[in-house]
Amino acid sequence: MPRTILVIDDSSTSRELIAYLLDAAGFRTLVAEDGPEGIEFARAEHPDLVLCDIHLPSMDGFAVARAFSADAALAGVPMIAVTASAMVGDREKIIAAGFHGYIAKPITPELIAAEVSDYFSKSGDHSR
């Protein structure tokens, strides 16, 4: 059974591109256009990993990470930030907020599936 990746991004272009690339690499993807929808999908679908934009309307990625951490059903779901925030200190701020990793935008289509696969290899999660 393929790993399920939830992509939360308000840009339809980014969502669709990431989902297309991950689907082509053999992952199962779910997409959400904002934080509340992403949380709802995560509760219903129990993804193996969440890729979440930081700059989302109404509920930014940091608030999404806090919501995951505060919810017993979601607290164990790893999250990777996907964001254009690449200033000095941003990576540290993102990791300190509860994200398990960071992928800079614009994404590199040739590398996104490898970066996700690499996360699973490094985390030692070999289930499924």
Q: What's the CA gap between 50 and 69, in Å, rounded?
A: 13
N residues, the chain = 128
pLDDT tens, residue by residue, 64-109:
999 999 999 999 999 999 988 767 778 889 989 999 988 988 999 9
CATH superfamily of 4-123: Response regulator (3.40.50.2300)
Q: What's the CA gap between 51 and 61, in Å, rounded?
A: 10
Q: What percent of the chain has pLDDT over 70?
A: 94
Which is nearest to 60 in space by CA: 78, 30, 81, 31?
A: 81
Q: What's the CA gap between 122 and 45, in Å, rounded?
A: 24
The CA-atom distances, in angstroms, between 71 and each of 41, 56, 74, 95, 107 are 14, 20, 5, 19, 29
In the prediction, which pLDDT does 84 show?
Answer: 84
**In this structure, what token pair is assigned to residue 44?**
């219903």
Rounded to two decimals, the pTM is 0.92
Residue with the two structure tokens 């272009």: 13
Secondary structure (3-state) at 23:
helix
